[in-house]
Amino acid sequence: MFVATNRLFVPQDQAEEFERHFVGTMRTFLPGVPGLRRSTLLRPTEPGQPYVSVNEFESEADFLAWMSSASFRQAHAHNPGLAKHVTSNAVETFQPTEDLVLAP
């Protein structure tokens, strides 16, 4: 498994519109991406914290292929209005060392 996160800082007064745009883009462009297991948008629980987009891929190769795919370009070009909501962001990637699943 390979995990890519994107920390997205959004002003509180734009949060609702940001969520609507981001979730719409996820639902439109992510189904069918090869190797993508799961995509989650996490809402902050405290003021000043970022949203976090978490994408779980089968492999780093799948993630890199998606980054250079038409689907990725369309998702990011499809919604240029989304950029007006994000004041800054940071992409981070991870390889799990342990994945303990406690419930089915």
In order of their start, the domains of the chain are 2-93 (3.30.70.100)
Confidence at residue 88, expressed as pLDDT on a 0 to 100 scale = 87
Confidence at residue 46, expressed as pLDDT on a 0 to 100 scale = 94
pLDDT tens digits for range 60-90: 999 999 999 988 888 877 665 666 788 888 9
pLDDT tens track of the chain, all 104 residues? 999 999 999 999 999 999 999 999 999 999 999 999 999 999 999 999 999 999 999 999 999 999 999 888 888 776 656 667 888 889 999 999 998 999 88
- CA-based nearest residue to 13, from 78, 75, 80, 87: 87
Q: Which residues of 64-73 are buried (b: 16+ CB within 10 A; e: fewer)?
A: ebbeeeebee
The model's pTM is: 0.88
CA 77 – CA 2 distance, rounded (Å): 25
